Structure 1
């Protein structure tokens, strides 16, 4: 089996030691290196352990003949575009459990028509993770509100509370939503050029 463990590890900017430490149970960096180079056989169990440590699906670690890889040709930085020092591959976006998407039909704020905003759902006790980020909140009767979470008022020791959202459009007033059952924080922008 031809694996892409090394390419995915490098794309995630992780060292052999970091991957070894993230494995459950932990392993050694030498073992991860042997799995990368093929000097040790990669079983399904090892593939699943390494995938979990890297935060990807096991299928992302296997070269499939019917799936083309997307090589990274250049790196763009403040000094312009330059070739990568070693071969690298772009990882396709992976959908995590519990994710939802918002499709932008008309440009508003920083978003353009045709954009897709991938969001991770959060329970009320995790709302603080979305502070100063764009969120989608449910409203009654199948409606939603989308905006920048700029404040949260929660009684001591309780989750939820009042969430203060700044709308994306100019001239709109701040919205306050009380005790939403969930929030979805924007984590990825998919934009056709």
Structure 2
């Protein structure tokens, strides 16, 4: 059985030790390494433990042999595009899903750094987590089924201040938001 544990672990920037420590109960980095390489059988119990540690769905750890996966073919750095040091599979954003589902905002008209047809993928958080989202682009619900979107620039008590993406606009105050969704990914067709 072909598994994607290593690809997902690397995409999330985790070491074998990180994954081993996040498993419940904890295990050793060597065990995770053996499961990644197929030296040890990936049972359903192990698949569930590792999926919880990586915060992904268990089925995302497996790859179909029928479809060729998207591969990372180049790495871009200050010195230009180069071949990757090791051959590895690209992990789809949907496979990196944490326990909270994705929310998507589609851009209908160019707005600041966002272009028409962009998709902004967001992850919902409780409003009390707002402090850790300062200086990030967020979406917040407003009364009447409306939303406010912009850079979270200030928190005063129960009021958030969002700076809209279009230059020259005033910050939008949002009092007592039910939730806050942080922009984690931008999908743009080239």
So what's the TM-score if we normalise by structure 1?
0.90
Deviation at residue 143 of structure 1 after TM alignment: 1.1
CA contact (8 A) 2:51 2:58 kept: yes
CA contact (8 A) 2:103 2:123 kept: yes
Return the alpha-carbon distance in structure 1 between the equivalents of residues 7 and 173 of structure 2: 45
Alignment match of 1:176 (pick from 173, 176, 184): 173
Q: Are the structure 2 counterparts of residues 7 and 170 from structure 1 closer, same or farther at C-alpha, using a change threshold of 3 Å?
A: closer
Which of 9-18 and 34-43 deviates more?
9-18
CA contact (8 A) 1:10 1:88 kept: no
- SS of the aligned residue for 2:93 comes to coil
CA contact (8 A) 2:136 2:151 kept: yes
Q: 1:190 and 2:187 equivalent?
A: yes
Return the alpha-carbon distance in structure 2 between the equivalents of residues 28 and 82 of structure 1: 33
Counterparts of 1:15-94 in structure 2, within 5 Å, are: 15-94=15-94
Q: Are the structure 2 counterparts of residues 47 and 136 from structure 1 closer, same or farther at C-alpha, using a change threshold of 3 Å?
A: same
> Larger C-alpha radius of gyration, 1 or 2?
1
| Number of equivalences | 187
Return the alpha-carbon distance in structure 2 between the equivalents of residues 151 and 117 of structure 1: 22
Deviation at residue 65 of structure 1 after TM alignment: 2.8
- SS of the aligned residue for 2:185 comes to strand
Return the alpha-carbon distance in structure 2 between the equivalents of residues 170 and 4 of structure 1: 43
Aligned to 1:127: 130
**Unaligned ranges ≥5, structure 1:** 155-160
Q: 1:137 and 2:140 equivalent?
A: yes
**Unaligned ranges ≥5, structure 2:** none
